[in-house]
Chain A
Amino acid sequence: MTLSSLDASEATASAPAPERISSIRAAAYRMRHHALNMGEVQGQGYVGQALGAADILAAVYGDQLRFRADDPHWEGRDRFLLSTGHYAIGHYAALAEAGIVPVEELETYGSDDSRLPMSGMSTYTPGMEISGGSLGHGLTIAVGMALGLRAQGSDSRIINFLSDGELDEGSTWEAAMGAHHHQLGKLTAVVDINALQADGATDTVLRTEPVTEKWEAFGWYTQRVDGNDAGALLAAFDNIASRSAAVGRPSVILCDTRVGRGVPLLENREKAHFMRIEEHEWQICREQLTAGYEGTASA
C-alpha cells in the first residue's frame, strides 16, 4: 500500500516532525543510489538532474502522494505528472522506492525493450501518468486532470513536476492562467529550479526570474524553498495541505536545487544538461554519496 501518506486533515503548518524528515532523507539517499546505478549502465545520462531532484521526489512519493503500489491505476490515487521526460531516471528511482517498479528492473533503464525508457512515457511504465519530453505540456494536462477529477467528485490531488526550463514555454503560462481561472485548489506545481538548461545557465538562455513574482501574479499560492532540504519541502507541502480546498487557488512550490546534489564530484563539475561520467568515477560517486549521507565526508 502507501509508503506513508499524510491525511490532509492531520496537516498542520507547524514544523515537520524530525522522524518525517529523516525518513525522507533516507529515501532520497536510496533513490540517489538507484540513479547512479542506472546511470552507470548507460555510462552517461541525466544523473545530475536525478540527484538534484531526489529530495523533491522522495517528499512527494514518501510523504504526500496517495497511491497503491500494487494497483498503479487505482481510481482514488493522487496523480503525479512528470512533464520533464528526461527526469525519468529520477522518477524510476522514486517508483522503485515506492514499490511500483521492482528495484531489480532499474538496471534495464534506457535499454531495448525496457519498460524504463530514457524519456518517461505513460505507455511504457506503471505509475507514469503522462508522456513528458516535449516540454511545457505537463501543466496543461494537469489542468485537465484537475478539472476532470473535480467534476467527477474525486478529492485526488494532482502534482505536476516541471523544470525551470519549462518556464520558457508559453503553454506553461497558459496553464498557469487556466488553473487559477478555474480555481483548481487540488493542483500543485513543483518547479525544479536548478538554473540549468540544455544550452547553459538559465539566466543566459532565457531569463525566467523573478520566478516567485510571476507565479504570484498569475494568482498561485507561491512558496520558494531550498529543494534539497527535506524539512523545508515537507513544511511547504504542509502549508498547502492546511489550506487545501477543491475550489481555491492552485499552489506552487519553487524549489531551488543543485545539479548533482549529494555527490561533490558532480556538484563541482562544470554544469552540463547531459553529464558525462567516466567509468572509474561511478564508484567514487557512490562512496561520496554514502559518506555525505552518513555525515562522514571530509571537508
Chain B
Amino acid sequence: MSATTTKPKLKTSAMIASFADPGQKTTSAPFGHALAKAAETDSRIVGLTADLGKYTDMHIFAKAFPERFFQMGMAEQLLFGAAAGMAETGLVPFASTYSVFAARRAYDFLCLDIAEPNLNVNIVGGLPGLTTGYGPSHQATEDMAIFRGMPNLTIVDPCDSVDIEQAVPQLAASEGPTYLRLLRGNVPTVLDEYDYTFELGKAKVLRGGNDVVFVSSGLMTMRALQAADALAKHNVDVAVVHTPTIKPFDAETVLAEINTDRLAVTLENHTVVGGLFEIVASAVVTAGLGKRVVPVALPDQFLDAGALPTLHERYGLSVDRIVAKVLAELG
C-alpha cells in the first residue's frame, strides 16, 4: 500500500494583493485614468514616480501623456524635491511611490520643500495601511500619524474607485499639498450604490441607523458598510459616516453624528496611534462631549507578513471581526 500525502493548500502573500472580495465589482486603475482625464483639461498637471509607475497606476498617465511624465528613478528624496521644483515653475505635479517611502524616507523633503512653501504638489502613496502582506518594509501602518503633524498638508483616504475618480481633479484644483492614500489595480467600486459625491474636506453620512454609528475612512468604509449589512441580521441598526478627508477634518459633521446615545465606533486601515480614532477622540474632547469611542484599527506593533485576508482577520479589520466587536460592545 503506497502512502499518499496531501499537502494543505497554503495561502500566499502577494505583494500587491487586491483587497476586493471575490466577485466584487471593481474598476481598473482608477487613479491613472482619472489623472489622465484631468490632464486633458488642466495643462499644468504632470506625473512623476520613483520606479513604481506600474505599481501606482501612474503608467496609465505616462502612456497618455509621455511628455508630461517624468521617471525619477528609485530616488524618493529626488522625487519630492524635484516635484517641489516643478511646482515652483507653475506645474501641478502628482508624484507617486509607496506610502512607506513617502512618509518614512522622504519626509524632510515633503515637509520643507513642499509643505512649508505650500506648493500644489500631490503626493500619491501606494499600499497605505495594511494593503500588502509583504511585512513592515511595505506596510504603511503609521503614514497618517506621520503626516498629520505636517502643517498645510491635506490628507485624503479614499474608500474606492468612486472616491479616487472624484478626488483627483479636486486635489489638482486645490491650492497647497495633498497626500492621497492610493488604492491601485482592480479597486472595489462601492459608493456608486449610495447617494454620494466626494467633496474635499467633507464627511458624508452614507446610511442612517439607530443603534450604532460607524465613523470610517479608506477601505474601512467598505468594510463598515458590509458590517452594517451583517449587523442588520442581528437586528442592530448601524449608521455609517465616511470621512475621506482626514485633514482638515470635518469635525462638525462627525460630532453631530457622534453626539447621540448610539455606540460610536471608528474604523481605519491604520494603527490606532495617531489616526482616525485619535482625530475623532480629540474632537470629542475638544467639544466637551463625555462620549466613549470604540476603535477598530491596527494594533500598535509591527505586523506579520502573510496573505491579506489572513492578516485583516488577525488584526481585526475583517467584517467578521467588526461584527463580533460591535455585538460584544452592545452586550
Contacts and interface: CB of A to CB of B under 8 A. Distances in A.
Given A123-B117, A134-B108, A144 B88 contact: yes
Nearest to A178: B78
A33 B77 CA distance: 37
A178 B73 CA distance: 8
Interface residues of A, number: 31
B82 A147 contact: yes
B46 A141 contact: no
A152 B90 contact: yes
A145 B84 CA distance: 8
B306 interface: no
Interface string B69-82: 01011010110111
A149 B90 CA distance: 9
B160 interface: no
A255 interface: no
B204 interface: no
A143 interface: yes
B81 A171 contact: yes
Given A140-B81, A174-B78, A181-B73, A147 B109 contact: no
A133 B111 CA distance: 13
B70 A141 contact: no
Contact of B86 (A129, A145, A170): A145
B90 A144 contact: no
Interface string A119-133: 000110000011101
B233 to A, nearest CB: 54
A142 interface: yes
B85 A140 contact: yes
Nearest to A169: B77
Contacts of B276: none
A136 B67 CA distance: 28
A146 interface: yes
Interface residues of B, number: 28
Contacts of B90: 148, 152
B163 interface: no
B26 to A, nearest CB: 34
Nearest to B72: A178
B142 interface: no
Nearest to A141: B85
B82 A178 contact: yes
A133 B112 CA distance: 9
A164 B67 CA distance: 34
B113 interface: yes
Interface string B84-107: 111111110100000000000000
Contacts of B87: 144, 148
A151 B91 contact: yes
B207 interface: no
A174 B117 contact: no
Contacts of A139: 81
B280 to A, nearest CB: 33
Contacts of B72: 178
B83 interface: yes
A144 B112 contact: no
A177 B51 CA distance: 14
Given A134-B112, A175-B81, A141 B91 contact: no
B91 A148 contact: yes
Nearest to B118: A123
A137 interface: yes
Nearest to A133: B112
B287 to A, nearest CB: 33
Interface of B: 46, 67-68, 70, 72-73, 75, 77-78, 80-91, 93, 108-109, 112-113, 116-117
Interface of A: 122-123, 129-131, 133-134, 136-137, 139-149, 151-152, 154, 170-171, 174-175, 177-178, 181-182
Given A144-B81, A145-B89, A147-B86, 8 more contacts: A130-B88, A133-B112, A140-B82, A143-B78, A144-B83, A148-B46, A148-B85, A151-B46
27 contacts: A123-B116, A131-B117, A134-B108, A134-B112, A136-B77, A140-B78, A140-B80, A140-B82, A140-B109, A141-B85, A143-B78, A143-B85, A144-B88, A145-B88, A147-B70, A147-B82, A148-B87, A148-B91, A151-B68, A154-B89, A171-B75, A174-B73, A174-B78, A175-B78, A175-B82, A178-B78, A178-B82
